Structure 1
Amino acid sequence: MLSGPPVTTTVDADQLLERFLAANPRQRRSLLSQVLQRSAELRPLIPGQLDRLDATSDDWAAGLLIQLLVADDDSLTQTFRERYSEGWLAVTSASGIDYAPLQRALVDQQFEEADRLTSEHLRQLAGEAAVQRGYVYYSEVPPIASVDLESIDRLWVMYSQGRFGFSVQIRLLRSLNGRWAQLWPRLGWKQGGVWTRYPRSFTWSLEAPEGHLPLVNQLRGVRLMDALLSHPGLQQRVSA
């Protein structure tokens, strides 16, 4: 019995979007390429979906949709930026820090600028002495309010497809049983954690290894990064 060629069916854009948002992490990864390929069809549907999503979560699916929405300079992008001038993701600060510039940089995938702002915010959170000297001591990390570190981490996770952020680095370190020497190559950092801010030393895109960003100054050893990744606010995010 002869049979014709296999029938291929294309899921409607709204169905694809619904499926993507409802998927578990593994399924979402498998759908990611389809969503990116059909972004032009999906863009008009995104504003309505964002109204239904939780702006207090850290589900990176919303971050991806926002990045697709702002990819073109048209009325959809302008309307979104005007409506969410402070950023779609709701973040707070116990120190009165404005995280809107960081959120804008991450939305636009300007990861080098986002990393610079993150370092600046960490100095602000550590106190005036850290701001004046230009870097943070590990002993200044524990008093930092959890809500601020959570806000910074949520922003990185949200707008990196879940690839970047302090919580991602914590999970990687745990998977290596706390072996710092094995963490550096996994992050794509120089062996031994040697840190430099020369742009060519790092990859400022989603093509970077998981956990590559944000950077943490390791010139004085692992104490600062250890203090950050051991902070209760970040530990709680990974354990939740």
Structure 2
Amino acid sequence: MLSGPPVTTTVNADQLLERFLAANPRQRRSLLSQVLQRSAELRPLIPGQLDRLDATSDDWAAGLLIQLLVADDDSLTQTFRERYSEGWLAVTSASGIDYAPLQRALVDQQFEEADRLTSEHLRQLAGEAAVQRGYVYYSEVPPIASVDLESIDRLWVMYSQGRFGFSVQIRLLRSLNGRWDQLWPRLGWKQGGVWTRYPRSFTWSLEAPEGHLPLVNQLRGVRLMDALLSHPGLQQRVSA
């Protein structure tokens, strides 16, 4: 008995979106290319989905949908930006820091600007002395409120498809049994902790290695990064 050509079944945009949001991390990665390819179909559906999602989590699926939504300069983008002028993800600060500019930079995938803002916020959180000198001492990290480091990390995770953030760096370091010398190449940083903010020294896109951003000044060794990654607020996020 002759059989015809195989029938290919393509899910509609609603089904793809529902499947993507309900998927586990591994399934979501496999669906990512389809979502990106069909972004034009999905964009009109995204505002309704965002109303159903938790703005206090850091599920990067929501961050991706937001980035697809604002990719074109049209009425959908305009409406979203007006409605969420402070950013869709709900973040808080014990020090009164406004994280809206950081969220906007990450939404627009302006990762170099987001990294600059992150360094600025860390100095603000460390205190006036750090702001004046232009960098943070490792000893100034432990008193920083957990909620602020959590907010910064959640923003990076949310808008990087789960690829960037302090918590991502912690997981990588743990997977290497705390071997800092092995962490640098995994992050795409220069061996030995050499650090510079020259644009050509780093990759300011999602093409960068996992954990590549945000940057931490290593001119004085690993103590600052160790203090950050050892902070209870960030450790709790990884253990949760």
Give the alignment's Cα RMSD to 1 decimal: 0.3
* C-alpha distance in structure 1 between counterparts of 2:113 and 2:4, whole Å: 54
CA deviation after TM superposition for structure 1 residue 161, in Å: 0.1
Equivalent position SS for 2:131: helix
* C-alpha distance in structure 1 between counterparts of 2:112 and 2:224, whole Å: 20
Q: Could you state the TM-score of these two structures normalised by the residue count of structure 2?
A: 1.00
| Per-residue deviation, residues 59-105 of structure 1 (Å, max 9, x unmatched) | 00000000000000000000000000000000000000000000000
CA deviation after TM superposition for structure 1 residue 21, in Å: 0.2
* C-alpha distance in structure 2 between counterparts of 1:192 and 1:162, whole Å: 26
* C-alpha distance in structure 2 between counterparts of 1:86 and 1:47, whole Å: 16
CA deviation after TM superposition for structure 1 residue 193, in Å: 1.6
| Per-residue deviation, residues 182-202 of structure 1 (Å, max 9, x unmatched) | 000000000112100110000
Identity of paired residues, percent? 99
* C-alpha distance in structure 2 between counterparts of 1:95 and 1:86, whole Å: 17
Q: Could you state the TM-score of these two structures normalised by the residue count of structure 1?
A: 1.00
Task: Please name the residue that 2:203 is paired with.
Answer: 203
CA deviation after TM superposition for structure 1 residue 121, in Å: 0.1
CA deviation after TM superposition for structure 1 residue 166, in Å: 0.0
* C-alpha distance in structure 2 between counterparts of 1:29 and 1:148, whole Å: 29
Runs of 4+ in 1 over 2 A off after TM superposition: none
Equivalent position SS for 2:80: helix
CA deviation after TM superposition for structure 1 residue 235, in Å: 0.1
- For this pair of structures, how many residues does the alignment match? 240
| Per-residue deviation, residues 155-176 of structure 1 (Å, max 9, x unmatched) | 0000000000000000000000
CA deviation after TM superposition for structure 1 residue 56, in Å: 0.1
| Per-residue deviation, residues 20-66 of structure 1 (Å, max 9, x unmatched) | 00000000000000000000000000000000000000000000000
CA deviation after TM superposition for structure 1 residue 2, in Å: 1.6
Task: Please name the residue that 2:33 is paired with.
Answer: 33
CA deviation after TM superposition for structure 1 residue 3, in Å: 1.2
CA deviation after TM superposition for structure 1 residue 133, in Å: 0.2
| Per-residue deviation, residues 200-240 of structure 1 (Å, max 9, x unmatched) | 00000000000000000000000000000000000000000
Equivalent position SS for 1:192: coil
Equivalent position SS for 1:6: coil
* C-alpha distance in structure 1 between counterparts of 2:207 and 2:2, whole Å: 46
* C-alpha distance in structure 1 between counterparts of 2:88 and 2:41, whole Å: 22
Equivalent position SS for 1:155: helix
| Per-residue deviation, residues 121-180 of structure 1 (Å, max 9, x unmatched) | 000000000000000000000000000000000000000000000000000000000000
Task: Please name the residue that 1:75 is paired with.
Answer: 75
* C-alpha distance in structure 1 between counterparts of 2:198 and 2:18, whole Å: 42
* C-alpha distance in structure 2 between counterparts of 1:190 and 1:184, whole Å: 6
* C-alpha distance in structure 2 between counterparts of 1:4 and 1:210, whole Å: 45
* C-alpha distance in structure 1 between counterparts of 2:192 and 2:34, whole Å: 38
* C-alpha distance in structure 2 between counterparts of 1:10 and 1:44, whole Å: 19
